[in-house]
Amino acid sequence: MFPLLLLAFGVLAGVTTVLFGFGGGFVAVPLLYALLTSIHGADSAVGQAAMHIAVATSTCVMIFGASMATLRQHRAGALPWDQVRPLAGFIAAGAVAGAAAATWISGEWVRWAFIAYLALTIADALLRPGFVHGTAAGMQPMGRRAAATAGLAIGAIAAFLGVGGSVMTVPLMRRRGASMAAATAMASPLSLPMAVAGTAAYMLASQGAGLGPWHVGYVDLQAFALLTAGSWTGIRLAAPLIGRIPDALHAKAYLALLGLVLLVMIVA
């Protein structure tokens, strides 16, 4: 039952990675948190580290998902690389700090940080103009100082929460005049440096914590394999839809998915 559930959610993660740039974190983190606490019990070593394991495993899955989605977006001609390159290095640097910080803080605090960030992101997108309906001005380039500030913050927060950069990069690029197709396309390559740096930090953490033989640091290898297999299928299924969803509908669907994940995390 649980392997099939992980595979199914992996498919969903792949679809959301390609179409919304989520990187799978918004799907994998709530699911893994709920499964680990249910299977092992909240008082076990795994149960007590459930949020850390969920975040770390999600970050590891993102390496595969973001790489595949980036390739698909590039082949579809949807990636403005001149907007991606200035942010990538700063995101990687921020991710190391964010992952390290997450391992020092209790899993319950990470969970509530995840919930708070989702709620603020949804409220900001709804209340501030420019997200749902976009602008006609075209995408504005970022200066080096702005790219450094944004990249470090995106990398740190994304690795801390295990959600990829979409929740920050999509609203940021949207307000700078990007279409939803371009904004969500950029989220995948910008999630990749965060995923690599964050995974390395999580794998080095928790050595000797008694999590079991199928763990490297906080990364659950069995869950990683199942989620990755499902993600590959989801990416292939969603690839034909790249660039074909109407802009306003794309933006509204993005916010609706964020709202659904927020509800799951609150009741988990």
What pLDDT score does 135 carry?
59
What pLDDT score does 167 carry?
74
Query: Using CA atoms, how far apart are residues 202 and 206, in angstroms rounded to an integer?
Result: 8
DSSP assignment of 61-75: HHHHHHHHHHHHHHH
E-state strands within the chain: 215-216, 219-220
Backbone angles phi, psi at 176, to 5 degrees: -90, 10
pLDDT band at 226 (very low <50, low <70, confident <90, very high): very high
What pLDDT score does 27 carry?
75
Query: Using CA atoms, how far apart are residues 19 and 180, in angstroms rounded to an integer?
Result: 9
Task: Average the pLDDT over each of 114-118, 139-143, 233-237, 246-250 and give the range with the smallest value.
Answer: 139-143
Top-confidence residue, 224 or 125: 224
Reduced to 3 states, what is the DSSP secondary structure of residue 219?
Answer: strand
- Is 0.85 surpassed by the pTM of this model? no
